[in-house]
Structure 1
Amino acid sequence: MPVPEVATLAELNEMVDRWDLEDEGRRIRSRPRTIGEYFAVEQPQLKPLPVEPFETDRWFTPQVDRYGQITVRTNRYPVPVRLIGKTLRVLLHASELVVFNDGREVARHERLSTQGGSRLVLDHYLEALVRKPGAFPGSTALEQARSAGRFTPVHDDWWDAARAAHGDKEGTKALIQVLLLARHMSHEHVVAGLAVALRAGVLTADAVALEARKIADGDVPDQPMPSPPPEPGAVGPARATVTFLAD
């Protein structure tokens, strides 16, 4: 059979589960029953699964390097930059790893199946990038966020408008402040708030936060989620109401 093309191990597992269900209705050659019907007869004869869990995970204690990354089994994973220099505990599962600091979970990643690979999470670097916004546009974390769909065309359009209005440095800082909103608001609501603020020409993180909260609370029920995103620079009159926050 052709090798499946998937982006993640979780996607492959979902495909395998779907194939198993579909296979239950298949007949082998001229046999009178399907695979699912034969299994229904056989299943009562099988021994039950063991009650005790069989632990296959492994613990590691890597140190966070100066780039805010830890190395586990040759692969590098990000953690919040505030943990640079600390030794953390990592529980490595078959398909993911969980990172703990002082008993609290600080990061969770899908396990990389390569050797010498790396995964970056843009959110973990925002505190550093807000101090050095010039490093943001060409960062690997930004490109990975784009590829994963977390940094959308709406983000790009709002960022372009903010840089045009405030300059590259201040416009990028404003965008990073918007990205920080996702720590306590849903990604979908932040993107919708960006779209409303962009259409109204309001290019501050405070305005985006307010619009996102209004959408989350249902205060603007007629406002759809942004699809498709507005054209870059196409900022004009909008029906949405934007409340300005005092400095």
Structure 2
Amino acid sequence: MIEVEDVEKIRIAYFRDGLSIREISRTQHHSRRVIRRAIESADPGEYRMVQERPAPVLGPWKAKIDALWDESQQMPRKQRYTARKIYQELQKEGYTGSEVTVSRYVGQKRQASRAKQVFLPLEFDPGADAQVDWGEAVVELAGERVTVPLFIMRLNYSHARFGMAFPFQKQEAFFEGHIQAFRFFGAVPKRITYDNLKTAVYRILSGRNRQEQVAFVAFRSHYLFESRYCTPGQGHEKGGVESDVGFSQRHFRAPMPRGGAYEELNNLLAAACRRDLDRRVRGSQESVAAKLATERPLMLERPPTDYKAYREHLATVNPYGLVPLDTNRYSVPGHVSKEVRVRAYAFRVEILAGEEIIAQHPRCFGQEQDVIEPVHYLTALVQRPGAFEHAVPMRRWRAEWPPVYETLLAELRRRWPDERGLREFLDILALHKDHPSELIVQAVETALKLGAVHLDGVQLCLRQLTAGQEQPPALDLSGHDRLAGIGQPPVNLGQYDTLLSRS
């Protein structure tokens, strides 16, 4: 193929130097046909294959490959011939060429068979439609680099978007993402489009029909929105939210966020979503916030109470006072070998006996971990004080409790060397069941200063702290003679004489 520099030389030689086509062909070594084309146009044109390249080895087998290809197109998608399978079939019949040659020819047929997709610009009514999808982002969480799932919801009219990070894509996270998105938008869209997520779809039926998960139907019924599902493999049917996944990833990755908990990461993403409301969509004179204000009155109102986004199951407390959830275990107070109900929210766990919540824990996202609240084991330790030094709940607690507790324990053991001092200490720790830790620490410090190193002394200091101010001074009634006798009536000893005279 002639280059643009060669065309320039030909045109200069012909038009400026006055050389003939014959002379140019002799000096520049181009055919006369090429020279005439360069004289006609300065554009060198594109390379076009005039005739197909010879394929002496593959050529006789192309008809066989075409037949196998046509046969493959009639099979189920997962059972069609691959290029390697076609090559193996040809080898059985005597083909001696390379696999690369066959793969190249099959690739050409595959490319030619693909119909070019044409997409249409879409327009949505205010408040009518939204889209939901999951994405991923890499973050640094508690010093460790991890990949976290991102829940994304987008309103189709205003282009307002909401994102939230979760440790997993389980149903409780799916529901919690919706709830927080509805709070962010201030209303509920009338219809939401999804992929065929397992958290929503139990079975894909013909067309757009789906058998939905029972829990998702209950969730949808609570907020009264409609659900719509994409055709399998056609993610472009909700292309808006697909691009918003990239938006959330960029806001996570530039720079990579660092935090100790998911709450910090979600505060970061929520702030980014709020800032995003100030942008203007191409072709619109209004900001996203203005368009959201327009469509919010046309959306569904949020119910007075949010849906309880938890997954519940029954469990039995083991002899160590622990209840299983996934691969982890959570402590409960003194309900050994009783059946309880475990409610797993996205970020917390509630354990109930009947209708009473007996324990709450932050949800653990590790594997095979025991989440222990030491206060749950104080009753058992009072009965078995000899286990205090080696009990796992106490060892974990002692590693992080304030130094004043060690001072208190040493003083109690000095006063009562027997187990009474330890029992008194455990009774003081039991105050954590009803009072915040900061207040108990202050009460212990005050009791140590006053020398009231016992349960009653700590309780007295605790009551004074909870009462707030000191007792007010007595009311001064001097100058108010009419009120001076109130509250201090004189003693009438004559009443005793009357009593004695009656006896």
Pairwise TM-score range, normalised by the shorter structure:
0.7 to 0.9
Letter in 2 for 1:74: T
Rg (Cα) greater in structure: 2
Q: Which of the numbers 161, 164, 167 marks the counterpart of 2:411?
A: 161
1:98-126 deviation digits (Å, cap 9, x = unpaired): 11112111111111111211111111111
Q: CA deviation at 1:56?
A: 4.6
Measured in 2, the distance between the counterparts of 1:49 and 1:56 equals: 19
CA distance in structure 2 between the partners assigned to 1:16 and 1:38 by the alignment:
24
Q: How does 1:14-29 map to 2 (within 5 A)?
A: 14-21=264-271, 24=274
1:190 alignment partner, SS class: helix
Compute the TM-score of the two structures, normalised by the length of structure 2. Answer: 0.38
The answer as to 2:289 corresponding to 1:40 is yes
Task: Report which structure shows greater RCO (CA 8 Å, sep ≥6).
Answer: 1
Partner of 2:142: 5
Change (3 A) 1:208 1:55: closer
Distance 1:56 1:196 in 2: 44
Tell me which residue corresponds to 2:65. Answer: none
Provide the residue aligned with 2:346 in structure 1.
94
1:166 and 1:187 map into 2 onto residues whose CA distance is 25
State the Cα distance separating 1:187 from its structure 2 match. Answer: 2.5
User: Which of these residues, 377, 380, 393, is aligned with residue 125 of structure 1?
Assistant: 377
The alpha carbon displacement at 1:12 in A equals 2.4
State the SS of the aligned residue for 1:99: strand
Shift of 1:220: 4.8
Query: Where does structure 1 lack aligned partners over 5 or more consecutive residues?
Result: 222-247
Whole-angstrom CA distance in 2 between matches of 1:16 and 1:197: 42
| Aligned partner of residue 452 in structure 2, secondary structure | coil
Q: 1:196 to 1:90 in 2, by over 3 A?
A: same
TM-superposed deviation, 1:21? 1.9
Matches within 5 A, 1:217-232: 217-220=467-470
1:123-173 CA-to-partner distances (Å, cap 9, x unmatched) read: 1111100111222233221243356x5x32221221122122222632221
- Shift in Å at residue 205 of structure 1? 0.9
User: 3-state DSSP class of the match of 1:162?
Assistant: helix
TM-score of the pair, normalised by structure 1: 0.72
Q: 1:180 to 1:44 in 2, by over 3 A?
A: same
CA distance in structure 2 between the partners assigned to 1:25 and 1:58 by the alignment: 33
- In structure 2, C-alpha distance between the alignment counterparts of 1:198 and 1:55, rounded to whole Å: 46
Question: Per residue, is there more strand in 1 or in 2?
Answer: 2
Moved more, 10-19 or 172-181: 10-19
Aligned to 1:189: 439
Are the counterparts in 1 of residues 280 and 288 from structure 2 also a CA contact under 8 Å?
Answer: no
Contact 1:100 1:106 (C-alpha < 8 Å) held by counterparts: yes
Moved more, 93-102 or 165-174: 165-174
Contact 1:189 1:213 in 2 (8 A): no
Structure 2: gaps spanning 5 or more residues:
1-137, 144-166, 168-259, 472-503
Q: Report the Cα distance in structure 2 between the residues aligned to 1:84 and 1:60, rounded to whole angstroms.
A: 18
Matched, 1:177 2:314: no
Number of equivalences: 211
Give secondary structure in 2 for the equivalent of 1:3: strand
Residue in 2 that maps onto 1:242? none
